[in-house]
Amino acid sequence: MTSAGSSQGASPDLPDPAGMRASDAERERIAEVLREAVAEGRLDMEEFEERLSAAYAARTHGQLEPLVRDLPVPGSVAPAPPSPADRTGWAERIGGTPTSKWAVAIMGGFQRKGTWTVPRAFTAFTIMGGGEIDLREARFEGREVVIRCFALMGGIEIIVPPDLETHVSGIGLMGGFDHTGSADGDPTGPRVTVTGLALFGGVSVERRLRKEEHKRMKEERRRLKAERREELRAERRELRGASRDERREEREERRLSLEKERRED
């Protein structure tokens, strides 16, 4: 028989902080910490890009915390105040009339890139040709998007930003349908499902930074190189000054040695 007091001391299960959902403001705050770290020389550009992509793809605090644990910031991700504006811009990019609903490349190629509007269902065919579908700057008709790819002795490349939720479920038959592009993303943004068939061909999903982010990184890289060049110039000037001092001391020592020898003679 269970005693009446057995449940009085029990405490309700508390949620694991690491499993709590991360907000857009928290992801952006981690991204700013990473940008400052690469600017200070704590991270190289390759590691910065990897961590930045992981930050935008993170869904929980537990996924964000390791990205800044070895940097001079608190290891835990504290709740941040809500952002006064949509920092990701997804809200402004959802809705509108589709630019096109299909694309075909027969012994040729097609491109969908820039600020085009992606329909809820987009179908792409390549026969001995290639196609590129770039979603980094695109708008979306709705939050749920399905891209059907059929590659026959050809290839289709889909480029998505790091914070776009993407799920790949296509089939490769005597060809390749790369599923490594599947990843969770910003819950406020669209959800893209890539499906279809690759027959003697290939379909791939690649995550790349947006143009403005890539431009910012290039500017940071130039600034870091300029700072490094200035440091090297300062080191060379210091070495030249040290060499002059050493030569001056050597001449003084030889002079004193000659005077001593003359006095002894």
Taking the C-alpha atoms of residue 65 and residue 243, their distance in angstroms, rounded to an integer, is 49
What percentage of the chain exceeds 70 in pLDDT? 84
* pLDDT band at residue 259 under the 50/70/90 scheme: confident
**Which region among 59-63, 77-81, 124-128 has the lowest average model confidence (pLDDT)?**
77-81
Query: Could you say which DSSP state residue 234 is in?
Result: H
Q: What value does the mean pLDDT of the chain take?
A: 81
Most confident of 3-12, 27-36, 45-54, 194-203: 194-203
Between 240 and 99, whose confidence is greater? Answer: 99
pLDDT at 264 over 50: yes
- Provide the pLDDT confidence category of residue 76 given band limits of 50, 70 and 90: very low
- The reported pLDDT for the residue numbered 82 is 45
* Structure letter (DSSP) for residue 98: -
Are residues 138 and 164 in contact, defined by beta-carbon separation less than 8 angstroms?
A: no
Banded model confidence at residue 147, pLDDT cuts 50, 70, 90: very high
For residue 30, the 8-state DSSP code is H
pLDDT of residue 2: 44
The three-state secondary structure class of 75 is coil
Share of the chain above pLDDT 90, in %: 31
- Contact (CB, 8 A) for 190 and 90: yes
Instruction: Give the CA distances from residue 51 to residues 55, 105, 166, 181, 240, in Å, rounded to whole numbers and listed in that order.
Output: 6, 36, 18, 16, 40
**Alpha-carbon gap, residue 197 to 194, rounded angstroms:** 10
**Confidence (pTM):** 0.52
**Three-state SS at 125:** strand
